[in-house]
Amino acid sequence: MDNDLILLGHGSGGKLSHQLLSDLVIPTLSGIPPAGQNDAAVVTHNGQRFAFTTDSYVVDPLFFPGGNIGCLAVNGTINDLAMMGARPLYMSVGLIMEEGFSRAELKEILDSMRAAADGAGVAIVTGDTKVVPRGKADRIFINTSGVGVIEHDLAIGGNCARPGDRVLINGAIGDHGIAVMAKREGLDLESDIRSDCAALNGLVEEILKEGDAVHVLRDPTRGGVATTLKEIALQSRVGITLQERALPYNGAVKGVCAILGLDPLYVANEGKILVVAAPQAADALLERMRSHPLGREAAIIGEVTGEDDRGRLEIDTVSGGTRAVEMLAGEQLPRIC
């Protein structure tokens, strides 16, 4: 087998992506303080801590129920900053467009970027535009970078989960991935599954009022809830057990997943946050999250069971069985029969 080629799986956010980063990208670019496996780097200048992040968006389709590539690009970067407990301030936008891309569609995308940034109180302050010949890119790719300020001294990160902690989520899982897939594949689902694309910085501000009870904030995007929690378990060297019965699902998403043979635990989200917090604060935190518009369906979905170097993630299934949960490997593909 040939290992000289970059495959689509290297961009899936799962294990292949991790390998590419740790084997090639990070060692070659060393000298840059890595963000670890966190969503953004935290840098300190003159005693002030900042979070800094960048992300590129190459989604197909560009427009899907509940959003488009524009609000995705703005909210995604805002959320990466918010997950570090930062208050997002400024953003840049880089557009790479294919010759022949529709001006009207560009306008719609830009409008939605502006609305998302305004809604989250973030200023788009710089940018860049490139056009490549037809066929050299797929209509439009967007890169956004963002910087935010960290105005507290809480230690929040993927390696801060502790035995006894509770795991919370702010609502139903899998909506974004299924909405995009349904649109992309032309699945006529006759359901109103919409992307959950949203900026989470307001909800994070609310969550941070629980102070040092908050240990980990993560948005389970590519690879879904399972991959994100597995990363947290490995980084913190703890075991985590989920209660499948407690996981909030939108019924239509569950149905589509059952038909296609997909596991909603691995489906991408764009407006969800996983919080790992001290047990004594869990109920108060749940109330706090439910009081925010983006956390109405928040739930406590599991707990950190103990120290575990192998980062074991388990789920007690709805049916009473127990199984291990691993990271997403490659792409989730619908089953054959």
Applying CB under 8 A, which residues contact other proteins? 1-2, 5-9, 14-16, 19, 185, 187, 245, 251, 254-255, 258, 261, 263, 315, 317-326, 329-337
**Nearest approach, Cβ of 225 to other proteins (angstroms)?**
14
- Name the residue nearer to other proteins (CB basis): 34 or 251: 251
Secondary element (H or E) of residue 142:
strand 140-150
- Name the residue nearer to other proteins (CB basis): 43 or 137: 137
- Name the residue nearer to other proteins (CB basis): 67 or 311: 311
Q: Is 177 exposed, middle or buried (0-12, 13-18, 19+ CB in 10 A)?
A: buried
**Nearest approach, Cβ of 37 to other proteins (angstroms)?**
17
**Nearest approach, Cβ of 315 to other proteins (angstroms)?**
8
Question: Is the CB of residue 9 less than 8 Å from the CB of residue 332?
Answer: no
Q: Is 30 exposed, middle or buried (0-12, 13-18, 19+ CB in 10 A)?
A: exposed
Strands 313-316 and 41-45: what pairing? unpaired
**Nearest approach, Cβ of 311 to other proteins (angstroms)?**
12
**Nearest approach, Cβ of 332 to other proteins (angstroms)?**
7
- Name the residue nearer to other proteins (CB basis): 31 or 320: 320
- Name the residue nearer to other proteins (CB basis): 138 or 287: 138
Question: Is the CB of residue 44 less than 8 Å from the CB of residue 26?
Answer: no
- Name the residue nearer to other proteins (CB basis): 93 or 257: 257
Cα–Cα distance, 2 to 272 (Å, whole number): 37
**Nearest approach, Cβ of 19 to other proteins (angstroms)?**
7
Cα–Cα distance, 321 to 316 (Å, whole number): 6
**Nearest approach, Cβ of 241 to other proteins (angstroms)?**
12
- Name the residue nearer to other proteins (CB basis): 26 or 318: 318
Question: Is the CB of residue 302 less than 8 Å from the CB of residue 243?
Answer: yes
Secondary element (H or E) of residue 217:
strand 214-218
> Residue ranges of the alpha helices (H) in the chain?
15-20, 26-28, 69-82, 103-120, 175-184, 201-207, 224-236, 251-260, 282-290
What are the backbone dihedrals phi and psi of residue 64, each rounded to the nearest 5 degrees, phi first?
-145, 165
- Name the residue nearer to other proteins (CB basis): 201 or 332: 332
**Nearest approach, Cβ of 26 to other proteins (angstroms)?**
18
- Name the residue nearer to other proteins (CB basis): 14 or 220: 14
Q: Which two tokens stand for residue 143?
A: 């890169």
What residues contact residue 284 under an 8 Å CB cut-off, 6+ apart?
210
What secondary structure letter does DSSP report for 47?
Answer: T
Question: What are 8's strand-pairing partners?
Answer: none
**Nearest approach, Cβ of 272 to other proteins (angstroms)?**
21
